[in-house]
Structure 1
Amino acid sequence: MKIMRKLIVSMALLCLACVINAQDYYKTHRESWLKKAEEAKPELFQTTYSPQYLVKSVADPIAFQGWKMERFDDMSYLYDQSFKKVKEVIVDFGKHMTGFYTFHLKTTDKAQDAPIRIKFTFAEVPAELNTSLDPWKGTLSRAWMQDEIITVSQIDQDITIPRRISGRYMKIELLAAPPDFDFALTNMYFTAYSSAKEVKTTLQDNVPQDIREINDVAIETLRECMQTVYEDGPKRDMRLWIGDLYLESLANMYSFQNHELTKRCLYLLAGLAAEDGNLHANIFEKPEPHPQYSSYCLSYNLLYNVTLLEYLKASGDMETAKDLWPVVKRQVEDAMSYLDENNIFNQNKKGYVWLFFDWRDGLDVSTPMQGLMIFALDKSYELAKILNKEDEVRDWPLVSKNMAKAARKELYDKNRGIFLSGSNNQISSMSQIWMIISGVLNQKESQKALKTTLSMDDAVYPGTPYAYHYLIEAMVACGMNEEAKEYMRSYWGAMVKKGADTFWEQWDPENEFLSPYNFFPVNSYCHAWSCTPVYFIHKYPEVFQK
């Protein structure tokens, strides 16, 4: 009897231990994953830039958001006279930079007997310096705006603003200074940082000039976002998002080829996953790596799997792919739990889950998610075969096949040759795009679906470079090569013509002031998900370099 009781107690303790361990899906892996992420942390390379010249803001209805900068004078105008006489000036550094700004105040008459107060406002685009920020109308924090008031009690020394800055232009305003003392502002410079080194790909000699310019701006966008993680935007958010990681890693493969940065991001996301095994959509690095705990985006989580596959193909790093295989399995398992009895993805089956495809008001994402899940299932199974893990996931191809059949049966309007989405049968580009990328439609059907939708005035069209990336991807996938090239030229090329030296987070040619945050100055004007023209241009040179 005692032996039986001991056996029962032992079994109970064993079961309890299993339950405790099950509470944290990756408990035995986290420490090693975070260690490997730290080992892959890249060096930040430092470049010092001096201001190029002084500029003035000019209202121009044709310019982006109604403002442009015109050259006003050389830097000597500022450096060689009293700043109390200048009072206000705008400096152009000539390019977008991410890093730290340093300036020097020197005494020119008498002794400083009271503090000096100066306001610095940094901007990525001219309109940021010409739009009143207060009262604040944005839905994100006012503190994201890069205006800093510095009080200087002791001059004749270099002063560095401690906040990391991202931008090209800088307005300097004198707010207060002692009346019986004079000084000049001199020797300003910007110390920029990036983990990107030299570009390892080249363009053909006969590449059209506009494609060359798009390629250059895409590379600069990626360079600015490559810090110690792939940041989504160096001005705002300054964190790692899975959706941006996927696109940045693709662009990196065809430019800087810094695969260690991709590896670091994959390990960080895995090591900081939730206890149920699901990934957090974004993570922060400081003061120590941690996730945004309220952030869970299933569409992004599935893209993690595709990112790992593409990383493996580019780097040949089997060790990392095998290490992170449990994360891939868990994201697919979670996604499959949202399928209904008809093999249709149901966003509300277990309670609402966030799915992101575009910043476009009113976009129904149910059909795009059906396509993305098929795509991710197929890519995850491809990874399984490379890792000799297909025995663990033998049901995945059947699930994918059944989802594709269900999509054609339940979501496809055969008469018009387009996919519909949601209870209101919404027609959107994103629905066609993801059904094409997933391979649900053949080439002829794909071209018809996309061309029909793009010709409809009432269809929901893409609103961000993130969505336009997948539009180009779908066009290439179904043989619409000329259309893909022209869309790149008309969309990203339009940003270049508007003066972009890095590509923007939100760009709608019909509304330059559009913002998902209710106030356009808080938009990111150097944004990771906008950098992918470099990927297309170099992966498909026969399409984009001719």
Structure 2
Amino acid sequence: MNRLTWLLLIIVTATSLTQVNAQDVYQSDRTRWAQNAEQFKPQLTETIKRPLHSVVIKKDDASFQGWKAVQTASLDSLYTSSFNKRKEITLDFGQHLTGYFSFKVDTLFRTPDAPLKFRLTFGEVPSEVATPFDPYKGDLSRAWLQDEVITVMDVPSEINITRRLAFRYVKIELIGSSQYYDFKLSDVYFKAVTSVTKFPDALSFGASSIIKEIDQVGLNTLKECMQTVYEDGPKRDRRLWIGDLYLESLANSYSFKNHDLTRRCLYLLASLSDKNGYLIGTVFEQPKPHPQDAQFLMDYAFLYNVALKEFVAATGDSNTGNDLWPVAKWQLNIVKTYLKPDGMMDYDSANKEWWLFFDWKDGLHKEAALHGLTIYTMQNTYALAKTLHRENEVKELPQLIEKMKKAAKKNLFNKKLNLFESGNQKQISYASQIWMVLSGVLSKDESRKTLNALSAANQAVSPGGPYLYHYYIEALIAAGLQKEAKSALVNYWGGMVKKGADTFWEVYDPKDEYLSPYHFFPINSYCHAWSCTPVYFIRKYPEIFQN
């Protein structure tokens, strides 16, 4: 089921969710939470960058998505020669950047007697510059694509594009000019912005070259997404999602250590939660902070609790933990709503009334994954409660956890296959095994057997992208399969590096480079937050990944 269909379903059911409680659960707290979020809003650092050289984007079947950038001349002639004659140029800034683009035009000879018109096309990857955007057939708004038509009324002039952009390559095309005068581009530059202010230490000397490359690309990805919130992608969607927040904050804790940004995001999400107490999966900052209507994602609401627990563990900030504890505690009402007497979740009802995400993967059945994540959430919430000395407020959790574990083994586990099955069709998927392993339904030895059986299950539904792949690496580590974890990380994220990634992509299937949940690959995000977590693994577990 695609994203648009999910949104329509969620909008239909949102009214029933928001009417559970007529009174605002957090009425006395929202203003304070919003003020705290604003207090921790970072100042962005600004750096001026200029293009390194011009390139030609050439068709090449061996390159990612069939296109590669080939360096041509230096830029010396660009700033001195006629652009009326050149007509078009593609510039390479040498790295992914997020911020604001500017260029200057100046007279070469004769008096300017007419305006100039340019088309600018920005791309995170070469194919984005080379692929025609129209006729547009994607599911998301055409306006996300980064092309601009600019009219310059006066020459000489400096042109500043007000739209914030995320790109490495820009194609500048002249589409309107006068034959009676000539002009040049006298400067091209970019104001890059990020909230990152300090950089982590280098990896150990013994780390392999591919691990170092993966780590650097992961750091670049995270840096670009760390703006005034943890954005999911600086090109698209440019907003805060709980699932991305959790993964970005993990990577940040082992790299840039900008904990104030995590604190801001946790407060912002709490302040914009629905009046019934449930968290909304995504929120906007502009024109003023507000949630996106009807974005009730159950798995993201659960992961907020895990993110808060990890934040308190990383910082020791029990004040923030206690201040936001009511939000985490309230999300447990979701479990109480859907947990049946036999210890199983009422999956059919949950799937109708919430968006269950887990992965961009058509056909994925999510009952087993939801069951595992629910246990995982209760475990992490109870650990948070113990840290805050509030375990008496959730003293029922250990018993519920054990009840759900037993129900999972009884109803979902195929002992002959050593694998968990989901739904009436008994689907075998990576998502199901991952969340059952992470929730501790199986012992460590049993988890190893299950993950080994999974790797041999040819019909298993595989991860659809880096988001679920993160949890696969985490499950391998939890099961003690350290060599397999390193190999999986190197093969998957290293595959992107070998295909030219300087930031990691939202969607990556080694067997289908054109895969897009939105049915038009140029609108994919090629710098995406949930893909940055090799940084977390490589730096948290140096004994696994740096040896």
Tell me the TM-score range normalised by the shorter chain. over 0.9
* Distance (whole Å) between structure 2 residues aligned to residue 247 and residue 186 of structure 1: 42
Helix, strand or coil for the counterpart of 1:79?
coil
Aligned partners of 1:201 and 1:254 also within 8 Å: no
* Shift in Å, 1:202: 3.2
Closer/same/farther in 2, CA of residues 292 and 108 from structure 1, 3 Å limit? same
* Distance (whole Å) between structure 2 residues aligned to residue 36 and residue 352 of structure 1: 32
- Structure 2 counterpart of 1:483: 484
Instruction: Supply the AA of the counterpart residue of 1:108.
Output: L
Helix, strand or coil for the counterpart of 2:306?
helix
Instruction: Supply the AA of the counterpart residue of 1:182.
Output: D
* Distance (whole Å) between structure 1 residues aligned to residue 177 and residue 22 of structure 2: 63
* Shift in Å, 1:181: 1.3
* Distance (whole Å) between structure 1 residues aligned to residue 63 and residue 240 of structure 2: 32
* Distance (whole Å) between structure 1 residues aligned to residue 223 and residue 146 of structure 2: 20
Instruction: Supply the AA of the counterpart residue of 2:324.
Output: L
Mean alpha-carbon deviation: is it higher for 265-274 or for 157-166?
157-166
* Shift in Å, 1:22: 5.7
- Structure 1 counterpart of 2:11: none
Aligned partners of 2:120 and 2:171 also within 8 Å: yes
* Shift in Å, 1:444: 1.8
Closer/same/farther in 2, CA of residues 187 and 430 from structure 1, 3 Å limit? same
* Distance (whole Å) between structure 2 residues aligned to residue 345 and residue 522 of structure 1: 36
Aligned partners of 1:84 and 1:174 also within 8 Å: yes
Aligned partners of 1:21 and 1:27 also within 8 Å: no
* Distance (whole Å) between structure 2 residues aligned to residue 200 and residue 521 of structure 1: 32
* Shift in Å, 1:516: 0.4
Instruction: Supply the AA of the counterpart residue of 2:467.
Output: Y
- Structure 2 counterpart of 1:263: 263
Question: Percent identity among equivalent residues?
Answer: 50
* Shift in Å, 1:155: 2.2
Aligned partners of 2:166 and 2:234 also within 8 Å: yes
- Structure 2 counterpart of 1:34: 34
* Distance (whole Å) between structure 2 residues aligned to residue 336 and residue 78 of structure 1: 65
- After TM superposition, the structure 1 = structure 2 runs for residues 109-508 of structure 1, keeping only pairs within 5 Å, are 109-349=109-349, 351-508=352-509
* Distance (whole Å) between structure 2 residues aligned to residue 95 and residue 280 of structure 1: 34
CA RMSD of aligned residues (A): 1.2
* Shift in Å, 1:59: 1.1
* Distance (whole Å) between structure 2 residues aligned to residue 369 and residue 28 of structure 1: 32
* Distance (whole Å) between structure 2 residues aligned to residue 300 and residue 20 of structure 1: 19
* Shift in Å, 1:20: 12
1:42-80 alpha-carbon deviations (Å, 9 max, x no partner): 110011101100000111111000000010111123212
Helix, strand or coil for the counterpart of 1:172?
strand
1:285-312 alpha-carbon deviations (Å, 9 max, x no partner): 0000000012010100110001001100
Equivalenced residue count is 528
1:183-232 alpha-carbon deviations (Å, 9 max, x no partner): 10121101000001222343111110000000000000000000000000
Helix, strand or coil for the counterpart of 2:77?
helix
Closer/same/farther in 2, CA of residues 220 and 392 from structure 1, 3 Å limit? same
* Distance (whole Å) between structure 1 residues aligned to residue 285 and residue 341 of structure 2: 41
* Shift in Å, 1:456: 1.8
- Structure 1 counterpart of 2:13: none
Aligned partners of 1:347 and 1:353 also within 8 Å: no
1:160-200 alpha-carbon deviations (Å, 9 max, x no partner): 11100001000010000112111101211010000012223
1:12-59 alpha-carbon deviations (Å, 9 max, x no partner): xxxxxxx99961010000000000000000110011101100000111
- Structure 2 counterpart of 1:105: 105
Q: Which runs of 4+ in 1 moved over 6 A?
A: none
Aligned partners of 1:196 and 1:226 also within 8 Å: yes
* Distance (whole Å) between structure 2 residues aligned to residue 74 and residue 370 of structure 1: 57
Instruction: Supply the AA of the counterpart residue of 2:406.
Output: K
1:118-158 alpha-carbon deviations (Å, 9 max, x no partner): 00000000001111111101000000000000001012232
Aligned partners of 1:106 and 1:156 also within 8 Å: yes
* Distance (whole Å) between structure 2 residues aligned to residue 140 and residue 403 of structure 1: 38
Instruction: Supply the AA of the counterpart residue of 2:70.
Output: E
Helix, strand or coil for the counterpart of 1:76?
coil
Helix, strand or coil for the counterpart of 1:91?
strand
Q: TM-score, normalised by structure 1?
A: 0.95
* Shift in Å, 1:278: 0.3
Aligned partners of 1:249 and 1:307 also within 8 Å: yes
Helix, strand or coil for the counterpart of 2:207?
coil
Aligned partners of 2:509 and 2:515 also within 8 Å: yes
* Distance (whole Å) between structure 1 residues aligned to residue 478 and residue 142 of structure 2: 42
* Distance (whole Å) between structure 2 residues aligned to residue 444 and residue 131 of structure 1: 49
Helix, strand or coil for the counterpart of 2:311?
helix
- Structure 2 counterpart of 1:517: 518
- Structure 1 counterpart of 2:4: none
Mean alpha-carbon deviation: is it higher for 215-224 or for 177-186?
177-186
Mean alpha-carbon deviation: is it higher for 24-33 or for 70-79?
70-79
Instruction: Supply the AA of the counterpart residue of 2:343.
Output: N
* Distance (whole Å) between structure 2 residues aligned to residue 352 and residue 234 of structure 1: 30
* Distance (whole Å) between structure 2 residues aligned to residue 348 and residue 468 of structure 1: 26
Helix, strand or coil for the counterpart of 1:449?
helix
Aligned partners of 2:194 and 2:226 also within 8 Å: yes
Aligned partners of 2:21 and 2:276 also within 8 Å: no
* Distance (whole Å) between structure 2 residues aligned to residue 20 and residue 29 of structure 1: 19
* Distance (whole Å) between structure 2 residues aligned to residue 339 and residue 20 of structure 1: 17
Helix, strand or coil for the counterpart of 2:353?
coil
* Shift in Å, 1:265: 0.1
Helix, strand or coil for the counterpart of 1:335?
helix
* Distance (whole Å) between structure 2 residues aligned to residue 354 and residue 62 of structure 1: 38
* Distance (whole Å) between structure 1 residues aligned to residue 380 and residue 63 of structure 2: 43
Mean alpha-carbon deviation: is it higher for 453-462 or for 494-503?
453-462
Mean alpha-carbon deviation: is it higher for 93-102 or for 150-159?
150-159
* Shift in Å, 1:462: 0.7
Aligned partners of 2:338 and 2:345 also within 8 Å: yes
Instruction: Supply the AA of the counterpart residue of 1:469.
Output: H
